[in-house]
Structure formats: structure tokens, C-alpha cells
Amino acid sequence: MLKSLRQSKSYKPDPNLLANRTILVTGAGDGIGRVAAIAYAKHGANLILLGRTRQKLDSVHDEIAEHTGQASLIIPIDLTHFDATSAIELKHGLEGEYSRLDGILHNASILGPKTLIEGYPYDKWIQVFQVNLHSAYLITQAALPLLRKAPDASIVFTSSGVGRRGRAYWGAYSLSKFATEGLTQVLADELSEDSNIRVNSLNPGATRTSMRAQAFPSEDPDTLPTAEEHMPLYLYLMGPDSSKCTGMSLSSNNWSY
């Protein structure tokens, strides 16, 4: 497994890497989610775009259609209110549209306040965990029956450097990402023996996004890599070339492009 990852540092995805595959991307309206959805579509995938803002999802849909001629399914959902009933509705909706699902990129996250644990507002704490962790668990649980029907399927959870080493003031965001790492490991282990589904976490690192600007308002965004620069790893993990890679915590900055 480690050998294959070293070889993939200069990874060049085949233009048809994701042909005939159906991929669900959460947080698809903006930032890395938007860029990943478009990259997946350009490599042949059919996209399910899940996000909070319909207008942003429509924009991604239109860009995908312009490049590929393919329509994407749009699912506008505010994940702060996504619960077990929502998950059942999503499950039935997906099963009504698709015979299988080939991958999920769990990209949706919110930062929450950067403040001391001592004064962290409980309502914001719950909200961060709801979006970053609980909704990802519920969506994954709802989608597993369709993922099992794919020849090989990939689940990618978005992590963070502060989800692997805690830092002061990062509060619920940091801890929700620690929990995401745990969810990745538990699910990967559960599926390792009798499933064709691989599960990995990916830390994109510092990237020129609105969340990064919110977290570091004085930082010069021009010093940061763009989301597009990370796409080789996102494509590798979602495509069949990574079929033997599971239960791993990967970081984009460990790759050279």
C-alpha cells in the first residue's frame, strides 16, 4: 500500500478515470467541493451535488454541463438540520435514481468560532459537530447499500491538520476532525474483510478558500495553493487506482504535483 502511494506522487489520472461512475459530493457549491465535483465530472463521473445554497449548486451544475454535456443531480440541504429522517429520505431518493453509488466525498464543513474551550458557546459546538461529523455519518449510513453494489467504491472524509494534532482556539472544529479520523478508521476496519468499499481521510492543508480566509483573515491568499492543485490526490482516491488503499490518513502536502 505504501509503495503504491509513493508511486502516485507524480500521479496523472486517465481522462476516463471515473467513466460511468456516480459520485456524491457534499459541500459541492463552493471551495474544494466545487472544484472536486467539476474535476470528477471532467474525468467521466455522474455527479450528485449536495449543498446548502441552491444558487451555488446550480452554478456548478451549469459548469459541469458546459464541459461535459451531462446533467448533475442537485440536492439542496442545510446540514445543520440533517437528521435520521432526512437520511431515510435521502436513501430512498438515491435508490430511486441510481442502481449503485461509486463514491462519496464528504467535503462539507464549518469552522465555528475560534475561541477558548472555557468560553465556547454550546450551541455553536453542537452545530459544528452536526455539520462536520453527524451529517457525514448519517449520509454514509444511508448510502452504504448503494455503495456495496459498486465494483469498487470510495468514501473520502475531509480531515484537517488540527484533527491530527490539537491546537488552542480551534475548539469544536478540531475535535470534530479528530472524530472524523476515528470514523474513518472504524468504518474502514468494519468494511475491510467483506466489502469492496475503501475509506480514507484526506487533509487538504492550507488552501485558498473562503474558510481558510475566515480562519486566517490576515493571511495573503496568494501564498496558498489553489483547490485545483490538490485535484490529483482527490482523483486518485476516488478512482480505481486507489482500490487497495483504505484506512489511511492522507495529506495533500505530502504529495508533489
Count of other CB atoms within 10 angstroms of residue 240: 16
Cell (9 digits) for 249: 490518513
In Å, what is the CA distance from 216 to each residue of 164, 177, 199, 206, 210? 19, 18, 30, 10, 10
Q: Is 137 a catalytic residue?
A: no
Q: Which of 40, 173, 234, 236 is catalytic?
A: 173
- DSSP SS3 for 115: coil
In Å, what is the CA distance from 209 to each residue of 130, 175, 192, 216, 218? 21, 21, 34, 11, 14
Report CA dihedral (240, 161, 41, 46) to the nearest 10 degrees. 70
Active site residue ranges: 173
